[in-house]
Chain A
Amino acid sequence: MNWLLVLPVILPFTFAAVTLQFRNDFRQQQNLSILGALLHCGACLYLLVYVRQNGMAVTQIGNWTAPFGITLVADHLSIIMVAVTGILNLSVTFYSKAEINPNLLKAGYHPLMHILIGGVCGAFLTGDLFNLYVWFEVMLMASFGLLVLGQKKQQFDGGVKYVMINLFATLLFITGLGLLYGLTGTLNMADLHLKVQEVTDKGLLTAIAAIFMVAFGIKSGMFPLFFWLPASYHTPPVAISAIFAGLLTKVGVYALIRMFSLVFTFDVAYTHGILLIAAILTMITGVLGAAAFNEFRRILSFHIISQVGYMVMGLALFTPLALTGSVFYILHHMIVKANLFLISGVTGKSGGSFELAKLGGFYRSSGFLAILFFIPAFSLAGFPPLSGFWAKMILIRAGLEIQSYAVAATAAVVGLLTVYSMTKIWGEAFWKPKPEATNVEINDKGETTGFWMFLPIIILATLTIIIGLVPEPFLKMAEQAAIELLDPNIYVKAMLGEI
């Protein structure tokens, strides 16, 4: 058994238990939580290095051989996701030291956060479909708790909608899973890849594929299934919405990529055709929705949707370059999006509001913060030489390569519209002078914009610049992930051994 693969899952759960023991000693709990996040991040990054050097890593839990037991698999896609999860977890844990107040700590912020991270990592690493369902549930359970932490009116409102639709999506997922099991008699993903080819009634399989598409589509916030996302993501405390924005929809995208590259590839023209149309509409509606709003976090929430469109577009085009772009886009997006939410927290805290109309003057009062916002915002919009530029360029090139001019054009136009939203935030919150008539008391600056708030933002902004200036190693990684996705035999061989 390879313990390296188990660590990213088991460490957060251990620390969830440990931090729960210290629920009355906030200082200790926070320090332990940071220690846990550091160890987890270290384990994730080490696993990344390990897989880069030794290729795909597989471990059978309890030494039950592959199609029967639960298998953990770390291919390049999984490992990129896990590594970024580790980094985001660390950053948000730093940030929560500044933001999360004793009330939220008492309600169990740290244990829930660790459980969420454990669930997300489990979902990325598992090679078994039913196990994926279980990790989804673990993750959902923790996210339900986190979303209503603080018990504000709008949190309950957003929380109820989030819970409703996500439970429904989970039920759809397990419906598809049951039908697929009835048809193939296996739940191991590699085994599924082989058994699906033996199924004669492809029509039934296509129907099951559609169920999975809807289930994961809801999770990832695709058109027209995204309405729960902008209804809930702007309601919880900033640290929580940052980790949601960075991770949760991406678990849905990951599951989509996994299933539609490994199992449902028998009728690419049909299934991936639907995905492509959905992706285009997702991009457009997301970016237009963002243009309509004037609240910092709601704009960002809508941008998550439009960005999910790019990722699914890469999957739908289903060429090596497109999948490379998709993976690279996820890598870039998770970092940038979480960072933008964290920055919205800083401006929200010292400006007293998330409404753009009530913010202003940050360019004058805090030039450093303005630069820190500039980096992820214009990376999101796709300005060179930041990480988003490469991500968008690869995807657009992939579209042009197979003469999907409409898709490529949409991607480019949506990028342009993203600039509109970002300049709106820039102009309103940073450039325009601070509005005079604010009846919101402005917090003391020294107290609110502390070291722990800026540290994670600086870390993530630096990563964005590094990915932008030195894209080569990250591209290599994404390319390797795409190669593995397009040739499922690598995955099957690693999991089931020689056939």
Chain B
Amino acid sequence: METVLSILCGILAAASIYLMLAGNLIRFIFGLVLASNAVNLLIFISGRLSIFHPPLIPEGRAISEMPMANALPQALILTAIVIGFALLTFVFILFYRAYETLGTIDTKAMRFAEPVEKKDVSDTNAMEGNRL
């Protein structure tokens, strides 16, 4: 089971990196979704998977005598999912606003903060970029 999930994790990670490097904001978001899922899955596996050792303690005992599965990774993933979801919402809005303002989703065309150097110093584009 762990092997299968590890491979799945690797495929997700590879696909996400491919998407993130595509130079397109929409693809980047999809890549990000995949990447965060891959990472969550990875934490999940790192807690070791087992269906034979539920983390349940018999009544009247303080600790379990049997080895039991680790439940902490689930808690960690939950936190990571919540944070990831918030970030994703923000990224969606930011990219949409960026598209509205800049008029492009091609990252190569986004040279407003670092305008291409021109010999003429009074280039209007560069000036606009650096005025207060």
| Residues of A near any B CB (own CB < 8 A) | 130, 134, 137, 140-141, 144, 148, 151, 153-161, 163-164, 167-168, 171, 174-175, 177-179, 181-183, 185, 230-232, 234-235, 295, 348-349, 352-355, 357, 440
Are the CB atoms of B132 and A163 closer together than 8 Å?
Answer: no
Given contacts A157-B114, A231-B113, 9 further A-B contacts (CB under 8 A): A144-B94, A153-B102, A157-B112, A163-B94, A168-B20, A182-B45, A349-B132, A354-B130, A355-B127
Q: Decide: A137 and B113 in contact? CB cutoff 8 A.
A: no
Contact B83–A179 (Cβ < 8 Å): no
Q: Are A167 and B76 in contact (CB under 8 A)?
A: no
Q: A151-B97, A156-B98 are in contact. Are A178 and B46 (CB under 8 A)?
A: yes
Min CB gap A234→B, angstroms: 7
Which of B42, B114, B128 is the one whose CB lies under 8 Å from A179? B42
Point out residues on B near A: beta carbons under 8 Å: 20, 25, 28, 32, 35-36, 39, 42-43, 45-48, 70, 72-73, 76, 79-80, 83, 86-87, 90-91, 94-95, 97-98, 101-102, 107, 110-114, 121, 126-132
- Report if A182-B46 is in contact (Cβ < 8 Å); known contacts: A134-B79, A153-B102, A157-B113: yes
Q: A164 to B98: give the CA distance in the assembly, Å.
A: 13
> How distant is the Cα of A167 from the Cα of B32 in the complex, in angstroms?
8
Measured between alpha carbons, how far is A167 from B94 in the docked complex, in Å?
13
A352 CA / B127 CA spacing, docked (Å): 11
Pull 24 A–B residue pairs with CB atoms less than 8 Å apart, ordered by A. Answer: A134-B79, A137-B83, A141-B90, A144-B90, A153-B102, A153-B112, A156-B94, A156-B98, A157-B102, A157-B110, A160-B94, A160-B95, A160-B107, A164-B28, A167-B91, A168-B35, A171-B35, A178-B46, A182-B46, A182-B47, A185-B70, A230-B114, A231-B113, A295-B130
Which residues of chain B have C-beta atoms less than 8 A from A156's C-beta?
Answer: 94, 97-98, 101-102, 112
Chain A interface secondary structure, helix, strand, loop or mixed?
helix
In the complex, are the beta carbons of B47 and A160 less than 8 A apart?
no
| Chain B residues with CB under 8 A of A141 | 86-87, 90
Q: What residue in chain A is nearest B131 (Cβ atoms)?
A: A353
Are the C-beta atoms of B39 and A175 separated by less than 8 Å? yes
Complex Cα distance A231/B115, Å?
10
Q: Which 9 A-B pairs have the closest CB atoms?
A: A182-B46, A178-B43, A158-B113, A157-B112, A154-B113, A156-B98, A157-B113, A154-B112, A153-B112
Contact (Cβ within 8 A) A352 B102: no
Contact A174 B39 (CB under 8 A): yes
Closest residue of B by beta carbon distance from A235:
B113
List of A residues within 8 angstroms of B43 by Cβ:
174, 177-178, 181
Q: Which residues of B contact A158 (CB under 8 A)?
A: 113
CA distance A182 to B73 in the complex (A): 9
Output the nearest chain B residue to A99 by Cβ-Cβ distance: B132
Best-buried of A158, A164, A235 by chain B (most CB within 10 Å): A164
Write out the residue numbers on chain B whose beta carbons fall within 8 Å of the beta carbon of A183.
Answer: 46
Say how far B1's CB is from chain A's closest CB, in angstroms.
Answer: 15
In the assembled complex, how far is the CB of residue A174 from the closest CB belonging to chain B, in whole angstroms?
Answer: 5
Q: Which A-chain residue is minimally distant from B77 (CB atoms)?
A: A178
Contact B87 A157 (CB under 8 A): no
B83 contact from A134, A163, A230, Cβ within 8 A: A134
Contact partners of B94 in chain A: CB under 8 A: 144, 148, 156, 159-160, 163
Q: Which residues of B sit under 8 angstroms from A159, Cβ to Cβ?
A: 94, 98
